[in-house]
Amino acid sequence: MLFLRLTWMTGQAGIGLASVIVLISSLVTTLTTMSMAAICTNGEVKGGGAYYMISRSLGPEFGGAIGVIFSLANAVAASMHAVGFAETLRDLLYKYDIAITGDLLHDVRVIASGTMVLLLIIVLIGLDFESKAQLVLLVILIVSLFNYFIGTFLPPSEEKRRVGFVGYHGSVFLQNVGPDFRESDGTDYDFFKIFAIYFPSATGILAGANISGDLKNPSKAIPRGTFLAILITTIVYLAIVWTCGSCMVRDAVGAAVANASNMSLTLEDIQTCGNVSCSFGLQNSHAIMGVASAYGPLIYAGAFSATLSSSLACLVSAPKVFQALAKDKLFPFIGIFGKGYGKGGEPRPGYILTFVICVGMSCIGSLDIIAPIISNFFLMAYALINFSCFDAAFANSPGFRPSFHFFNKWLSLLGALICLVIMFLLKWWAALATVIMVSGLYVFLVRRKPDVNWGSSAQAHAYNDALKSTLSLMNVNEHVKNFRPQILALTGYPRNRPALVDFTSCITKRQSLLVCGHVFVGDMQRHVRHLRSTAAYRWFSNRDVRAFYSSLAAPTIRHGVQVLLQSQGLGKLRPNTLLMGFKTNWQTAEPPSVHNYVGIIHDAFDLHYGVGILRVPGGLDTHKVSDDLLDATDDTLEGLDEDNVSMEEGAGNKDKDKTSGGLTEPSGNDVSLKTFKHSQGQGHVNNGYIDDLVNDTRDPRPAQSSALSKCESSDDAPSFNRFRGKQQGTIDVWWLFDDGGLGLLVPYLLSTRKQWKNCKLRVFCAGTKRSNIDADHRQMATLLNKLRIDCSEITVVPDLRTKPKRSSYKEFEEVIYQWRLKGGEFQDDYPWKVSDADLASHKEKIYMQIKIREKLLEFSKDASLIVVTLPVPRKFCPSGLYMAWLDTLSRDLPPTLLLRGNQQSVLTFTS
């Protein structure tokens, strides 16, 4: 029917604007075909046509959205062409006084529905039969066109002249050059309304692409066939417009003049209707092409073949596209439509679904209503095809190497913009509805996260953006206000310590960098096939953890961690905080491994890292529980295991007991409250417990119900999901020494996360004197207020320098006993062992750790999390003594994070 409506379009828009409409449509289709040719020659094209090309270029989100829209567009287009066929057949039947129901609209509905049944039968028989039917229809169409063009050069009879076909006249051409927009059937037509009705005739360019899976060589056939089709149809459409405008008048009287039977009317008489309504001519009769043809009935055969051929092509295309979409499993509940039947894998369920849609749309019964809807859908598809080509070229990915070189990315972008502009000029509300529909499908797929990897341009853009941003960070000066705790967590295989990963992820999630480090002990060749494993990322995805996984092979754990500490990160995207699990088996492990565990802490402080040690009841190690996400061989590999580490002996490091520094303004002025800076070991403690212990070699563990047995084993089983659910209670921050503010910042960040938002933040600080508690409290409250750290309670603990209880110290004796230097042993040979001199020189510090433990048991026994300042490992502090301090501060307590910054200021007063 659109084939015949070219005459009506010429009457409404004139030769000039009608040619513009044809040329604009050809320009859009040509630009789209150039983009499509570039994409489909960039690799093998499988079934799915435009959907396949867009999805593999722009990714599953855009591809899935346009796949639905394009399938629907083809289904509705099939019904539109069927309605066009029905309108033409109805007019022909009415010409001979033949009616089906007696109602114009109902007749169209009945004929269109019957036509769809016939076409469905043809398609279900098989594509071979459909192809033969298409060839027959093509031959009829070609014969019909030649019949028309030959007829325009034949002298018209008086009867033909009266109905508008007057032969070629210069005056007729001049009359029909300009537009003459009129109202018809209650619609005021203009340029864009006529364009919307015409444009579906240009949507056939994707017919070949839609059956790409059935072509022998789609990469060559699609571009060649489509360009040739555009060239031929453009020439034919323009020829029809110019011939119609040159030999047909807009209005003709027909047989309305009484004395016209015996006389030849002039052009003026033919166009003068008087009081009689003109019902013939370009503007009034779609049948005028038949009048101009050499043999009138053939033009109807051509119109029938054109509409049936187009409807048949769309009926095949829609299920093919939908089948490809269903096979990719982007949407739920559509898998049945991906199943193929027969040798060619025909989508029979898709045919039935398309048939139902077609019959439903055919009930509209009006070509003028259906055509603008189709135009919107196809323009959106064309816009995305053009944009996908531009995006793939703009991403500058080495993988985009199309063999079709006659394209330009900027022309593709121009094509996309033209399509969008035309959409909104045709019907802004329909265009907006289409954009909203595509956006809704896009958002759904983004949230659903289909498990596909098609190497889309979105991935190339992600790489380019990340590289550009990382490089640009090098030109950004660091500032205390922008400090983020970027954490290197020593997790080994992440799935083996899920609680450690979850806890660290709560700190960094959506805000800073998290790297899970894994050291394979031994030669690289032994572990080479596991060093680049991506299994950890699948585990991260399933657990909703945003992190990187970094693994390496080294002779010892400590050497491996040293490499991680020095090499992780790019530019300023590098860790500044080390987080590790507490070595729960430190009492039973080989002493050198304990010595190297402490050495890792030394190394981290040497490299200006902050250090955190997490201890939870039952430990963090899940003992390599099975996980389907990892290879069966994964559970045979060694990682950094706080319950099973093997480290070589390492040298001690320089003294790290630095408590200067503090909170600074951007100008560098010191604004820290020195009242709250207390060096460990400050003040005088009365002689007593340690003096009694010096030279005492008796075993202080008469019964195995001691603290030592508690730290060697625990009845608490590890909780894999301890930090995943909602936490209740309090986060108790024991900020006892100024470390730059990391000990305050991390628990504050935790309190803002959804898992911890129900927990109140309580701050405990060391006081100067018991008499100054109120003043110390006010100063701390002022400090926290200026730092914008919200807490529910502040507690000043004034007596941390007093001697602890004897029972508490007896527990410490039990813990330290086996690490004492025995008679005949020398510390040069056993640097991890504790001598009498060590006990004497560290007396005040030992007392303070024990006293802090007493206060922890008094105030924080029921907390959800305790964050306490990590003691600094002194250079000359034996590893056994330092581990005893860590054990004292965390044993038999809720989850405890021992944390200390590297004296870098991470909090500031200023906005």
DSSP E strands in 699-757: the ranges are 730-734
Matching residue, tokens 């571009």: 223
Q: And the tokens for 306?
A: 């054109």
Residue 205, amino acid? I
SS3 string, 813-873, reads HHHHHHHECCCCCCCCCCCCCECHHHHHHCHHHHHHHHHHHHHHHHHCCCCCEEEEECCCC
Q: Which residues pair with 590 in a beta bridge?
A: none
Same fold yes or no, 470-611 and 719-900: yes
Q: Which of 676, 688, 689 is nearest to 777 (CA)?
A: 676
Strands lying side by side in the sheet with 865-869: 548-554, 514-521, 487-490, 577-581, 610-615, 896-900, 865-869, 730-734, 760-766, 793-797
Q: CB burial class (10 A; 0-12, 13-18, 19+) of residue 648?
A: middle
Full DSSP string of 232-252? HHHHHHHHHHHHHHHHB-S-B
The domains of the chain are located at 1-256+265-448, 470-611, 719-900
Residue 530: helix, strand or coil by DSSP? coil
Q: Which residues are within 8 A (CB) of 822 and not within 5 positions of it... i.e. 6 or more apart?
A: 697
Q: And the tokens for 848?
A: 């303070």
Sign of the CA dihedral running 600, 602, 606, 608: positive
Q: And the tokens for 621?
A: 């190690």
Q: Which residues are within 8 A (CB) of 842 and not within 5 positions of it... i.e. 6 or more apart?
A: 681, 874, 877, 881
Q: And the tokens for 804?
A: 């602890």
**How would you classify the pairing of strands 610-615 and 896-900?**
antiparallel
Matching residue, tokens 């910054």: 901
User: What do you get for the CA distance between the two ends of the chain, in Å?
Assistant: 70
Q: Which residues are within 8 A (CB) of 95 and not within 5 positions of it... i.e. 6 or more apart?
A: 287
Distance, CA of 732 to CA of 862 (rounded, Å): 10
* Helix%, strand%, coil% for the chain, nearest 5: 55, 10, 35
Give me the architecture of the 719-900 domain, per CATH. Answer: 3-Layer(aba) Sandwich (3.40)
Ramachandran region, residue 731 (left: φ > 0; alpha: ψ -120 to 50; beta: rest):
beta
In angstroms, how far apart are the furthest CA atoms of the chain? 144
pLDDT along the chain (911 residues), means of 10: 72 90 92 86 71 77 83 87 87 83 88 91 80 84 91 88 88 90 78 85 72 71 85 91 91 65 73 74 83 87 86 86 87 85 83 91 81 83 86 80 84 93 87 90 84 73 80 78 90 92 92 93 89 88 92 94 92 91 93 94 94 93 50 35 32 34 30 33 46 60 50 54 90 89 91 91 86 86 87 88 89 92 86 91 92 94 94 88 95 95 81 58
Q: Which of 222, 175, 262, 182 is nearest to 8 (CA)?
A: 182
> What b-and-e string marks burial along 501-520, b requiring 16 or more CB atoms within 10 Å of the CB?
bbbbbbbbbeebbbbbbbbb
Distance, CA of 585 to CA of 587 (rounded, Å): 5
CATH of range 470-611; options 2.60.40, 3.40.50, 3.90.120, 3.30.70: 3.40.50
Distance, CA of 527 to CA of 533 (rounded, Å): 10
Residue 559, amino acid? H
CATH topology of domain 1-256+265-448: Amino acid/polyamine transporter I (1.20.1740)
CA distances from 860 to 403, 717, 801, 867 (A): 70, 21, 19, 10
Distance, CA of 231 to CA of 150 (rounded, Å): 21
Q: Which residues pair with 600 in a beta bridge?
A: none
Contact criterion met (CB below 8 Å) for 460 and 396: yes
In total, the chain counts a number of residues equal to: 911
* DSSP one-letter code for 259: G
Q: And the tokens for 516?
A: 């899970």
Please count the other Cβ atoms lying within 10 Å of the Cβ belonging to residue 300: 19
Measured in degrees and rounded to the nearest 5, phi and psi for residue 435 equal -65, -40
Q: How high is the pLDDT of residue 655?
A: 38
Q: Which residues are within 8 A (CB) of 23 and not within 5 positions of it... i.e. 6 or more apart?
A: 234, 238
* DSSP one-letter code for 264: P
Q: Which of 329, 314, 437, 323 is nearest to 380 (CA)?
A: 437
Q: How high is the pLDDT of residue 451?
A: 76
Distance, CA of 304 to CA of 90 (rounded, Å): 12
Rg (CA), the chain: 41
DSSP E strands in 522-566: the ranges are 548-554
Measured in degrees and rounded to the nearest 5, phi and psi for residue 153 equal -90, -5
DSSP E strands in 591-637: the ranges are 610-615
